[in-house]
């Protein structure tokens, strides 16, 4: 339980610190968001991807007098649900009708409090570092009175704007090395990303879910980061992680995915059971995070490019799968139940790999009745027509800049 005086002091200091911060790069996704009165705007994303800066931008441009409160503050460690009554009193005294709550998911029962403020006519913005903010339970509590959005580290085009780079092969290679975490791009200090990984593992996951085997969690995470683009399963991960139970491995994988650190892409199948039991492909939220925390990655540059393409797709599409039968195709995108044409990723097409890349793409195209497919390469551009299948080969910087998928 906290005192009202302390809460008031924290609010004043937090807002002063927020206003002193650089307003940062305007995010591409923000321009597509519509703010609706009497609805909570929920912004979810991995730690340090720019959520607080986004609130700062909204505060500066639209609601300069909004009351801002960041719950991820060491001084608020003992904040309890009963302390919302004191916060209510401060809000009433301030006279403000716009509330901005940063990292509110650390407080149990926060959804009911937000619902209360909506009922009282407040405009509410909420951020959090866990995908559970977008869960069905949230929808049940707020009974549909929320707009949910996700924020990610800088996209390739945002990265180019940040550094004033041309969109070409060289800038893609630089992006694959540095990633898109704004704070790291400002200071280029690897310790920033090392501390970030620890914060995610120990504060967002271990503390939240009561995990005592933090060494096992860290071993599992580092192994997964070192194997992006590869297939894996819980049973296969027991030995490298040192975790004996496949059930525990699955739980940890779920936590890692909920925290946005890693994604596990299933094979496409109309049977949900087959999707769940087949191996999944590993992708990380950011390559800079890998390069700063993994001594040596087993995935080659081709897997890194594949990860960059996945992250671009993930920012726009919810249903992403890989195709696997006799051959393999990297990505199938579903939208409203419809398969959009398949995507293969290859660092460079050459005589050694061309047949393999074509076979996987064409098999996926024929399986899903698609006449066109894409192969994303680092810098090649070409066109092929094989067995009535049209294959567009495009350079990564064109794909990442336009993300064109024919629907």
The pLDDT value recorded for residue 407 is 44
CATH superfamily of 4-150: P-loop containing nucleotide triphosphate hydrolases (3.40.50.300)
**Is the pLDDT score of 351 beyond 90?**
yes
Q: Which residues of 244-275 are buried (b: 16+ CB within 10 A; e: fewer)?
A: eeeebbeebbebbebbbbbbbbbbbeeeeeee
Q: Strands, E, within 188-314: which ranges?
A: 231-232, 262-265, 280-284
Q: What is the pLDDT of residues 84-143, one digit of tens each?
A: 999 999 999 999 999 999 999 888 889 899 999 999 999 999 999 988 776 655 777 777
Q: What is the pTM of this model?
A: 0.93
Average pLDDT score over residue span 42-51: 94
User: CATH 3.40.50.300 spans which residues of the chain?
Assistant: 4-150
User: CATH 1.10.10 spans which residues of the chain?
Assistant: 156-312
**Is the pLDDT score of 181 beyond 80?**
yes
**Is the pLDDT score of 7 beyond 60?**
yes
Average pLDDT score over residue span 272-291: 93
Does the domain formed by 156-312 have CATH 1.10.8?
no
**Is the pLDDT score of 204 beyond 70?**
yes
C-alpha span between 9 and 297 (Å, rounded)? 46
**Is the pLDDT score of 6 beyond 90?**
yes
Lowest-pLDDT range, 104-108, 152-156, 205-209, 398-402?
104-108
The pLDDT value recorded for residue 31 is 62
Average pLDDT score over residue span 149-163: 96
C-alpha span between 240 and 389 (Å, rounded)? 41
More confident residue, 340 or 164: 164
Q: What is the pLDDT of residues 225-257, one digit of tens each?
A: 999 999 999 999 999 999 999 999 999 999 999
């Amino acid at each position: 339980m906290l005192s009202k005086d302390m809460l008031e002091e924290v609010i004043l200091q937090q807002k002063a610190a927020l206003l002193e911060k650089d307003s940062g790069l305007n995010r591409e996704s923000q321009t597509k968001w519509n703010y609706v009165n009497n609805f909570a705007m929920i912004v979810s994303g991995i730690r340090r991807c720019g959520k607080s800066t986004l609130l700062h931008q909204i505060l500066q441009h639209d609601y300069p007098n909004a009351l801002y409160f960041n719950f991820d503050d060491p001084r608020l460690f003992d904040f309890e649900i009963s302390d919302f009554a004191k916060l209510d009193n401060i809000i009433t005294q301030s006279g403000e009708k716009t509330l901005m709550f940063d990292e509110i998911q650390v407080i149990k029962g926060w959804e009911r409090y937000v619902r209360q403020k909506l009922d009282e006519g407040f405009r509410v913005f909420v951020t959090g570092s866990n995908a559970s903010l977008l869960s069905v339970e949230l929808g049940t509590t707020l009974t549909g009175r929320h707009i949910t959005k996700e924020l990610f580290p800088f996209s390739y085009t945002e990265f180019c704007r940040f550094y004033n780079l041309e969109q070409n092969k060289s800038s893609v290679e630089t992006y694959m090395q540095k990633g898109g975490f704004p704070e790291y791009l400002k200071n280029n200090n690897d310790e920033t990303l090392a501390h970030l990984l620890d914060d995610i593992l120990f504060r967002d996951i271990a503390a939240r879910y009561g995990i005592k085997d933090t060494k096992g969690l860290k071993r599992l995470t580092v192994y997964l980061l070192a194997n992006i683009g590869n297939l894996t399963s819980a049973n296969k991960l027991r030995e490298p992680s040192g975790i004996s139970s496949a059930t525990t491995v699955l739980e940890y994988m779920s936590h890692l995915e909920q925290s946005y650190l890693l994604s596990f892409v299933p094979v496409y199948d109309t049977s949900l059971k087959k999707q769940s039991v087949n191996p999944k492909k590993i992708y990380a939220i950011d390559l800079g995070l890998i390069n700063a925390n993994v001594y040596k990655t087993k995935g080659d540059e081709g897997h890194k490019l594949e990860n960059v393409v996945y992250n671009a797709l993930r920012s726009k599409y919810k249903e992403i799968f890989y195709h696997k039968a006799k051959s393999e195709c990297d990505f199938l995108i579903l939208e409203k139940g419809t398969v959009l044409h398949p995507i293969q990723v290859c660092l460079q097409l050459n005589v050694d790999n061309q047949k393999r890349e074509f076979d996987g793409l064409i098999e996926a195209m024929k399986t899903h009745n698609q006449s066109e497919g894409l192969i994303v390469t680092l810098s090649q551009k070409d066109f092929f027509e094989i067995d009535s299948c049209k294959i567009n080969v495009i350079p990564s910087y064109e794909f990442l800049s336009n993300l064109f998928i024919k629907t």
